Amino acid sequence: MTRQLLTIFLVLVTLSSTMGKTEKQAAVKKEKRVPQTLSRGWGDQLIWAQTYEEALFWARSQNKPLMVIFHLDDCPHSQSLKKAFAEDKEIQKLADEDFILLNLVYETTDKHLSPDGQYVPRILFVDPSMTVRADITGRYSNRMYAYEPSDLKLMLSNMQRAKKFLKTEL
Amino acid sequence: MTRQLLTIFLVLVTLSSTMGKTEKQAAVKKEKRVPQTLSRGWGDQLIWAQTYEEALFWARSQNKPLMVIFHLDDCPHSQSLKKAFAEDKEIQKLADEDFILLNLVYETTDKHLSPDGQYVPRILFVDPSMTVRADITGRYSNRMYAYEPSDLKLMLSNMQRAKKFLKTEL
């Protein structure tokens, strides 16, 4: 499964890098690139960690749960979820106030972040005690950590659940 | 007992979150946050990897050397090097065309990236064969991978060295 995904990803990367070269060179001449943001569109006003290690450190030191969003730019499901997520004021507020946030387009080496496989979009919560909350799931039994734009109410209630820590003392 | 503790903790959390709210909201109202960029000022027009794993993957798949810049926002040496780096057209061009780029404000778990300790600013090159080029150093014997703004010529020549791969075939 992982191998297959990796192969597909390799092919995609190779394709896009060879295709991208002429485009890229043309693009440089034609227009200035828009600087990449850490938010990648999931909430420009939120504060995002860059790496998983950094996010874990913040979660522990600020005693906040970590929310990890796996997504891809060329995945329409990721894109539609992102749009809904970024526009949902209640979720943005809760995320801003009570969560350490990380969005990734590349898998980490921590297998706990893929309890039922590597797919996108996929959202995992990590307790400040450094435990991945595999118990906080969406509504799809075949992809337990996937959400659709229509699932934002469930996501909000899952965020509330993640705020109830596994251990009260670290 | 656990329940009680949890309740107390929840009350505390609620308290601190309500107390924190007014301050934060005041800040939000005063000014919109500027979205964080992946470049962090090291070259907004360049394409930056987000994580070390991602950067290694790109280096391997695109067969380009990886340049890792460790820095900190509150380090004046990092800041002055960043300014010089971002303004040097020759370095920016070479970086854009021939390197996979990553800037980090947080250490990775790979000890090879800190051959003589963890300090900032610090620049390490990684060969597409996944070997950290500990042989490519700056001019300071006590901090071999540090550069100052006056060292950009050396940095350029080090980038040229990094382009000569350790192995020509992967």
Q: Kindly report, residue by residue over B113-154, the tens digit of the pLDDT.
A: 999 999 999 999 999 999 999 999 999 999 999 999 999 999
Q: Give dist(CA A119, CA A5) in Å, integer.
A: 9
- Give yes or no for residue A26 having a pLDDT over 50: no
Q: Are A125 and A67 in contact (CB under 8 A)?
A: yes
Closest CA to B50 of A113, A12, A107, A83: A107
Stretch 111-170 of chain B: residues touching chain A, C-beta under 8 Å: none
Helix then strand then coil, in percent of chain A rounded to 5, is 45, 10, 40
Q: Are A142 and A134 in contact (CB under 8 A)?
A: no
| Residue in B closest to A55 by C-alpha | B106
Q: Is the peptide bond before A121 cis (omega within 30 degrees of 0)?
A: yes
A5: helix, coil or strand? helix
Q: What is the mean pLDDT of residues A33-38?
A: 93
Query: Euclidean distance between the first and final Cα of chain B, in Å?
Result: 60
Nearest CB neighbour to A51, from listed B17, B39, B51: B51
Closest CA to B44 of B120, B106, B103, B121: B103
Cα B106 from chain centre: 7
| Residue in B closest to A57 by C-alpha | B106
Q: Does A45 touch chain B (CB under 8 A)?
A: yes
A168 pLDDT tier (thresholds 50, 70, 90): low
Q: What is the mean pLDDT of residues A147-153?
A: 98
More confident residue, B125 or A23: B125
The ranges of chain B with pLDDT < 70 are 1-30, 168-170
- Give yes or no for residue A34 having a pLDDT over 50: yes
Residues B16, B22, B25, B30, Cα dihedral to 10°: -140
Q: Are A84 and A149 in contact (CB under 8 A)?
A: yes
**How buried is A9 (Cβ within 10 angstroms: 0-12 exposed, 13-18 middle, 19+ buried)?**
middle
pLDDT cut 90: percent of chain A above it: 77
Sign of the C-alpha dihedral, residues B131, B107, B105, A110? positive
Mean of pLDDT over chain A: 87
Where do the DSSP E strands lie in chain A? 66-70, 100-104, 122-126
Q: Does A31 touch chain B (CB under 8 A)?
A: no
**pLDDT given for residue B31 in this prediction:** 73
